[in-house]
């Protein structure tokens, strides 16, 4: 009996050991990986309150005479809460960093007569018994109604100088005038005329020699004076020149015919005055 129990017990032990060895021999299955955690869901951001409106600032009206200024490029951030101190006004700065120059004041006063603006004039004259003959005239407009002329040039009586005072009737650009002047010439000296050189000479003409001396004349003229606002000046004169010294011509040799004497009187004894001059008047 004891032997059977011992055999049965041994057999059971052997079976248990065999089953345990087989169980250890088989691989154990790996545990399943844990699922990845879901990403956290962020709550939507709260809506920010809209910024407070900027306080309205009245723009100063620009001065009528100052030029338009470019808006200043300021980098300052306005205070939205309205607690910043008031800004100090700054002068506007033009583009390029340079302050604009103040506009020049406009002179609205009337300009006055043209001869009060342009007092000094230089003209060139060409004429017969004129103030300069063939030469230059310097004019000084002392007053819109009064002008003085100083002349110098050459004529048939030799080198010539002259002075004249004129009264302008009007004060505009064009005015008539009356004038009185004085001329002095140097004379030509001796010269001889031979009728053989003149095919139209009289048959009874003979050679003669004249001595042309210095001459002094007074002239009385009327005319016009035109002075443009740009400075162009033109003067025309018509009148008579009276010889003060009648002995300015001396016959040294020969004899003068009637026509020759008449020609000498016309050329050397004064008479008709006609002249025209043009030039520029300075401010």
Q: Is residue 156 classed as helix, strand or coil in its secondary structure? A: coil
Predicted confidence (pLDDT) at residue 92 exceeds the cutoff of 70: no
Q: Residue 200 has what pLDDT?
A: 73
- For residue 151, tell me if it sits in a domain: yes
pTM over 0.75: no
Q: Report the share of the chain in percent with pLDDT over 70.
A: 65
- For residue 270, tell me if it sits in a domain: yes
- For residue 256, tell me if it sits in a domain: yes
Model confidence pLDDT, tens digit, residues 154-207: 999 999 999 999 999 999 999 999 999 999 999 999 988 888 777 777 777 889
Model confidence pLDDT, tens digit, residues 106-158: 756 667 899 999 999 999 999 999 999 999 999 999 999 999 999 999 999 99
- For residue 212, tell me if it sits in a domain: yes
Mean of all residue pLDDT scores within the chain: 81
Q: Rounded CA gap, 52 and 82, in Å?
A: 9
Question: What CATH number corresponds to the domain at position 202?
Answer: 2.40.160.20
- For residue 55, tell me if it sits in a domain: no
Structure tokens at 61: 């009206």
- For residue 201, tell me if it sits in a domain: yes
Three-state secondary structure of 25-73: HCCCCCCCCCCCCCCCCCCCCCCCCCCCCCCCCCCCCCCCCCCCCCCCC
- For residue 27, tell me if it sits in a domain: no
Range of the domain at 193: 114-282
Q: How many domains does the chain have?
A: 1
Predicted confidence (pLDDT) at residue 57 exceeds the cutoff of 60: no
Q: Rounded CA gap, 104 and 124, in Å?
A: 39
Q: Residue 194 has what pLDDT?
A: 83
Model confidence pLDDT, tens digit, residues 18-33: 666 665 555 555 555 5
Q: Residue 166 has what pLDDT?
A: 98
- For residue 231, tell me if it sits in a domain: yes
Measured CA angle at 112 (ends 106, 117), to 5 deg: 90
- Spell out where the chain has E strands: 120-128, 134-143, 146-155, 158-168, 174-185, 189-193, 208-212, 216-227, 232-243, 249-253, 270-282
């Amino acid at each position: 009996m004891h032997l059977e129990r011992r055999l049965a017990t041994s057999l059971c032990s052997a079976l248990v050991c065999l089953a345990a060895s087989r169980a250890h021999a088989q691989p154990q299955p790996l545990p399943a990986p844990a699922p990845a955690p879901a990403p956290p869901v962020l709550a939507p951001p709260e809506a920010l309150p809209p910024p407070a409106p900027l306080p309205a600032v009245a723009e100063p009206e620009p001065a009528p005479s100052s030029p338009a200024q470019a808006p200043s490029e300021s980098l300052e951030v306005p205070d939205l809460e309205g607690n910043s101190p008031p800004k100090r006004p700054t002068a506007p700065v033009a583009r390029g960093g340079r302050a604009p120059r103040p506009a020049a004041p406009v002179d609205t006063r009337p300009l006055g007569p043209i001869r009060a603006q342009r007092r000094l004039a230089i003209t060139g004259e060409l004429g017969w018994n004129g103030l300069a003959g063939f030469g230059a005239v310097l004019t000084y407009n002392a007053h819109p109604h009064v002008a003085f002329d100083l002349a110098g040039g050459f004529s048939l009586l030799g080198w010539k100088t002259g002075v004249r005072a004129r009264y302008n009737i009007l004060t505009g650009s064009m005015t008539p005038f009356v004038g009185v002047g004085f001329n002095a010439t140097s004379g030509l000296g001796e010269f001889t005329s031979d009728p053989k050189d003149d095919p139209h000479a009289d048959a009874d003409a003979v050679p003669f020699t004249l001595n042309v001396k210095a001459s002094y004349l007074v002239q009385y003229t009327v005319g016009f004076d035109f002075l443009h606002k740009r400075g162009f000046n033109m003067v025309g004169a018509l009148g008579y020149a009276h010889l003060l010294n009648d002995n300015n011509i001396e016959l040294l040799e020969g004899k003068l015919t009637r026509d020759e004497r008449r020609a000498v009187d016309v050329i050397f004894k004064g008479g008709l005055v006609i002249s025209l001059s043009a030039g520029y008047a300075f401010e």
